[in-house]
């Protein structure tokens, strides 16, 4: 069985704890949840799959995380 755990993705719609956002992982758009606020454009790592949702965390700097610049 194919696993998304450990895969890197990009946030397409902000993820806020308790609400679903969206991430692009290997060319596929997934609903995503997280225990932290992660903004559109940031890089994430998949830590778990829960049905048709991916649980993600902000990727570490060495994984290519893009920093969010203040407007």
Give the model's pLDDT for residue 56.
98
Summarised one tens digit per residue, pLDDT across range 40-63 is 999 999 999 999 999 999 997 545
68 Cβ contact partners less than 8 Å away, ≥ 6 residues apart: 39, 41, 42
Which residue has better confidence, 6 or 67? 6
The whole-angstrom distance between residue 32's C-alpha and the CA centroid of its chain comes to 6
Give the model's pLDDT for residue 66.
47
Which residue has better confidence, 63 or 39? 39
Q: Which two tokens stand for residue 35?
A: 């225990």
Q: Is the pLDDT of residue 25 over 90?
A: yes
Q: Are 7 and 62 in contact (CB under 8 A)?
A: no
Residue 70: band (very low, low, confident or very high) from pLDDT cuts 50, 70, 90:
very low
């Amino acid at each position: 069985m194919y696993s998304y755990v450990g895969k890197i993705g990009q946030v397409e719609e902000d993820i806020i704890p308790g609400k679903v956002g969206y991430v692009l992982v290997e060319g596929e758009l997934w609903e995503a949840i997280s225990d932290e606020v992660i903004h559109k454009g940031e890089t994430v790592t998949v830590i778990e799959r829960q049905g048709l949702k991916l649980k993600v965390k902000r990727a570490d700097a060495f994984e290519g995380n893009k920093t969010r610049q203040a407007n």
